[in-house]
């Protein structure tokens, strides 16, 4: 299954503001639906983008979800574009 993942780019320190600046990127990611453990709202990203879009060109009404994937011995979490309902439908169709 194909998703659009939002990920953190390396941070840089802004001396004027006295803090590290967050910067994000977007990329395609393919996930085997058999390894999806959970899907939940990503409240942190959803709040951040309401205040200020985390990527230029993204609509401030866009919704982010977090997918937990079992990766051999541990779980890995990725943040993707889409609501819980959208992702549940996509996963359900892929599992048929």
For each of the chain's 96 residues, which pLDDT tens digit applies? 999 999 988 777 778 877 777 889 999 999 999 999 999 999 999 998 888 888 888 888 899 999 999 988 899 999 999 999 999 999 989 888
> So what's the pLDDT on residue 18?
77
> So what's the pLDDT on residue 90?
92
Global pTM reads 0.84
Residue 77 half-sphere exposure toward CB, CA atoms < 13 A: 10
Tokens of 24: 């994000």
Question: How many domains does the chain contain in total?
Answer: 1
- The C-alpha atoms of residue 52 and residue 74 are separated, in whole angstroms, by 33
Contact 52, 45 (CB under 8 A): no
How many C-beta neighbours within 10 Å does residue 6 have?
21
Look up the domain containing 71 and give its range.
2-95
Tokens of 65: 């979800």
């Amino acid at each position: 299954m194909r998703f659009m993942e939002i990920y953190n780019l390396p941070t840089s320190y802004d001396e004027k503001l006295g803090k590290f600046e967050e910067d994000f990127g977007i990329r395609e990611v393919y996930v085997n639906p058999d390894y999806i453990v959970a899907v939940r709202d990503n409240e942190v990203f959803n709040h951040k983008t309401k205040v200020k879009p985390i990527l230029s060109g993204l609509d401030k009404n866009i919704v982010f979800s977090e997918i937990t994937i079992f990766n051999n011995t541990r779980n890995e979490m990725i943040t993707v574009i889409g609501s819980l309902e959208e992702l549940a439908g996509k996963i359900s169709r892929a599992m048929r």
